[in-house]
Structure formats: C-alpha cells, structure tokens
Amino acid sequence: MIRQVSPVSVVDAVSDDLRRRLFAGELRGTALTEVAIAAEYAISRSTGKAAVEKLVTEGLLQRGTHKSPRVPDLGPDDVRDIYSTRLRLEGEALRELAAERRVPEAATEANGRVRASGSGPALGSVEPDMLFHAALVQAVGSPRLERMYRSLVDEVRLCMSQVQGRSLLGVEQIAAEHQEILESIAAGDAEQAVARLRGHLGRASDRLAAAIASADAVSVDEAV
C-alpha cells in the first residue's frame, strides 16, 4: 500500500509519519531501508534516506555497523537514566516557577485532560501526561531547554511503545500527583515541588522499567 503524505515538506512529512508509527509500536524489529521507505511512500530513495537519517539523528532509530536502521530496544537502565535526566531538567523548571509562584495555565489544562481520560483506554492518559510535564518546561521560556526536553519525551514514548496496553499508574493517581506539584509551585515551595516531582517520576520510572524487563523476559521465553 502506498501511503500519501503532505507535499509541503516531503522529508518532514515522511519522518513525522514514521515517528507516529514508531511510537505506536508498528515498526519494532523492522529494518528501515531507504529502498523500502521509497517504495512505501512513493518517493525518491534520497528523500527516503533523508527521512530515516532524521530519525537516526534524533536517536529514535539506531544504525549498527553495516546494518539498516532499526527501532532501538531500550532496557530498564535506559528508562532509569531517561527519568533521572527528566528530573534534573524539570526540577530546575519547577524551582524557577515556584520562585515566581507562577502556575502555567497549560499545565493545569493538561492535567484536566489527564483526569478526563480516566474512563478511556489505558494509554489515553499518556499524551496529556506528557503535555503536563512539557508545559512546566516550556513556561521557563528557553528554546534550548525545550529542545533538550523534547528528545527525552521522545525516548519516553519509545519506551512506552515497548509495553503497549500496560496501565503503569492509575489516572487518578497521576492527576492527583500533578495537582500536588502545581500546589507547591503556587505556594512558592520549590523544594517541596521538586520532592513531589521526584516521587512522581520515580514511581513511573520503576513501573516502566519493570514492565520493560517483564516484556523482554516474555520475548526471550517465546524465542526459546
């Protein structure tokens, strides 16, 4: 089947569609050759190569020596490192916001969406959850900080794609912990806000790492 993409920027459109499919878990284990991408999207091989290389540069695809790019399988140690890095970046953002007692409206709105997703699919809260945390970083107003944070968020989504359908934390718990963080910011208590963030991310990290370890163990058993 030939997939249709926007003609505005073919490389960006193809890489965006590949990114979407990657986060949906559709490309795990698939070798993404420029020939295959060119045929699937009805584009030139050079355009297909540029789209794939864009995802390689972002760290969403991994290229081994003399091998085609593939979606990397991130392990429990990767999860812990990603989340500890998130804590460093988000923690500094919270300190700045708490110093001004400034609660980002976008974060409040995103948390409302988290709470509203409670009756939907298990993964329905993932995107508004990501938006909540991104809103805290964006409120600082540093484009460079935002770029750094976006790469981490993409890696979190990559981890989530490995455990599709798992409910790692209850929606009400997520929303309640978010609200506590916002209340600490509003009170100007930076250290309390960071401590609450540490607990929130720590619980998510532990459960995601355990889920990935469990999924990896199942994959090994099935291969034997």
- Where does 1-72 sit in CATH, by number? 1.10.10.10
CATH entry, 76-223, from 3.30.420.40, 1.20.120.530, 3.40.50.720, 3.40.50.740: 1.20.120.530
pLDDT of residue 221: 46
CATH 1.10.10.10 residue spans of the chain: 1-72
User: How far apart are the C-alpha atoms of 4 and 51, rounded to whole Å?
Assistant: 15
Angle between helix axes 190-223 and 143-161 (nearest 10 degrees) is: 30
Q: Does position 218 have pLDDT exceeding 70, yes or no? A: no
- H-assigned helices in the chain: 10-23, 34-41, 45-57, 76-100, 105-116, 126-138, 143-161, 171-186, 190-223
pLDDT digits (tens, 9 = 90+) for 105-147: 999 999 999 999 875 545 567 889 999 999 999 999 999 999 9
pLDDT digits (tens, 9 = 90+) for 62-98: 887 768 898 888 899 999 999 999 999 999 999 999 9
* Residue 125 token pair: 């809260």
Tell me the mean pLDDT in the region 213-220. Answer: 64
Q: Does position 164 have pLDDT exceeding 70, yes or no? A: no
- Give how far Cα 150 sits from Cα of 133, 160, 193, Å: 11, 15, 21
User: How far apart are the C-alpha atoms of 22 and 28, rounded to whole Å?
Assistant: 7
**pTM, two decimal places:** 0.79
Q: Is 62 helix (H, G, I), strand (E, B) or coil?
A: strand
